[in-house]
Amino acid sequence: MDNHLYHNSNNSVNEAEAVWSKCLGVIKDNINYRTFQTWFEPIRAVALNGSVLTLQVPSQFFYEWLEEHYVELLGKTIKRILGREAKLEYRILMESSASQRNPASINMPASNYNKPSKDSNYVDMPLKWDDPTNIKTPYAIPGLKRMQIDPQLNANYTFDNYVEGDCNRVARSAGLHVAQKPGATSFNPLVVFGGVGWGKTHLVQAIGNEVRRLHPNKAVLYVSAEKFINQFIDHSKNNEINDFIHFYQLIDVLILDDIHLFVPATKTQDVFFAIFNHLHQSGKQIILTSDTPPKDLEGMQERLLSRFRWGLNADIQAPDFETRQHILQVKMKQEGLEIPEEVVKYVAYNVQTNVRELEGALIALFAQATLNRKEIDLDLAKRVMKNFVKTAARELTIENIQKMVCEYFHLPYDRLLAKTRKREVVQARQITMYLAKKFTKSSLKNIGEHFGGFDHTTVIHSCQTVENLMDTDTEYKEHLLELQQKVQLASI
- 377 or 229, greater pLDDT: 229
- Measure the CA–CA gap between 476 and 466, rounded to whole angstroms: 9
| Cβ–Cβ < 8 Å for 93, 55 | no
Residue 405 has pLDDT above 70, yes or no: yes
- Is the CB of residue 401 less than 8 Å from the CB of residue 432? yes
User: Which residue type is seen at 146?
Assistant: R
List 105's β-bridge partners, or say none: 93
Is the Cβ–Cβ distance between 55 and 89 less than 8 Å?
A: yes
Q: What is the mean pLDDT of residues 320-334?
A: 79
Using alpha carbons, list the distances in angstroms from residue 412 to 146, 193, 226, 476, 484. Answer: 50, 21, 37, 20, 20
Alpha carbons 51 and 84: distance in angstroms, whole number: 9
Query: What average pLDDT is seen over the chain?
Result: 79
Q: Are strands 44-49 and 52-57 parallel, antiparallel or unpaired?
A: antiparallel
Percent of the chain with pLDDT over 90: 12
The pLDDT confidence band at residue 138, using thresholds 50, 70 and 90, is low
59, 112, 38: which is closest to 302 by C-alpha?
Answer: 59
What pLDDT score was predicted for residue 2? 46
pLDDT of residue 111: 57
What phi and psi values does residue 220 have, to the nearest 5 degrees? -110, 140
Give the pLDDT confidence score for residue 209 in this predicted structure: 94
Which parts of 241-315 fold into alpha helices (H)?
241-248, 266-281, 302-308
Share of the chain above pLDDT 70, in %: 83
Decide if 55 contacts 101 (C-beta within 8 A): no
Residue 205, pLDDT > 80, answer yes
Q: Taking each helix axis from N to C terminus, what angle separates 266-281 and 225-237, rounded to the nearest 10 degrees?
A: 100
Q: How confident is the model over 220-235, as a mean pLDDT?
A: 89
| CB-count exposure of residue 350 (10 Å: 0-12, 13-18, 19+) | buried
Is the separation of the CB atoms in 218 and 180 below 8 Å? no
Q: How far apart are CA 254 and CA 240, in angstroms?
A: 20
The string of pLDDT tens digits covering residues 351-395 is 776 777 777 777 777 777 777 777 777 777 777 777 655 444 456
**Residue of 477, 481, 475, 444 lying closest to 462 (CA atoms):** 444
DSSP strands (E only) in 76-205:
87-93, 105-109, 190-194
CB 405 within 8 A of CB 430: no
Could you tell me the pLDDT band of residue 288, with boundaries at 50, 70 and 90?
A: very high
The residue among 105 and 198 whose pLDDT is bigger is 198
Question: Whose CA is closest to 361, among 386, 333, 341?
Answer: 386
pLDDT band at 284 (very low <50, low <70, confident <90, very high): very high
Find the mean pLDDT for residues 66-86: 85
**What is the average pLDDT across 270-297?**
90
Indicate the angle between helix axes 378-388 and 341-350, nearest 10 degrees.
20
Q: Domains in the chain and their CATH numbers?
A: 4-109 (3.30.300.180), 146-316 (3.40.50.300), 321-393 (1.10.8.60), 398-491 (1.10.1750.10)
Q: What is the pLDDT of residue 159?
A: 92
In this predicted model, what pLDDT tens digit does every residue of 10-30 receive, in sequence order? 456 888 899 999 999 888 877
Report helix, strand or coil for 253.
strand
Cα distances (angstroms) measured from residue 444 to each of 44, 294, 460, 469: 76, 46, 8, 21
Lowest pLDDT segment from 54-63, 183-192, 286-295, 309-318? 54-63
* Contact in structure between 371 and 364 (CB atoms under 8 Å): no
Instruction: Tell me how far apart the 2 most distant CA atoms of the chain are, in Å.
Output: 102
In the prediction, which pLDDT does 233 show?
87
Which of 286-300, 335-349, 425-439 is predicted least confidently?
Answer: 335-349
Residue 118: band (very low, low, confident or very high) from pLDDT cuts 50, 70, 90 = very low
- Say how many C-beta atoms besides its own lie within 10 A of residue 240's C-beta: 17
Which pLDDT score, from 0 to 100, does residue 117 have? Answer: 40
Report d(CA 483, CA 492) in Å as an integer. Answer: 15
Calculate ∠ Cα 69-72-74, nearest 5°.
90
Residue 139 in this model has a pLDDT that exceeds 70: no
**Closest CA relative to residue 248, chosen from 122, 132, 142:** 132
75, 113 Cβ separation under 8 angstroms? yes
Q: Among 298, 217, 213, 220, which Cα is nearest to 252's?
A: 220
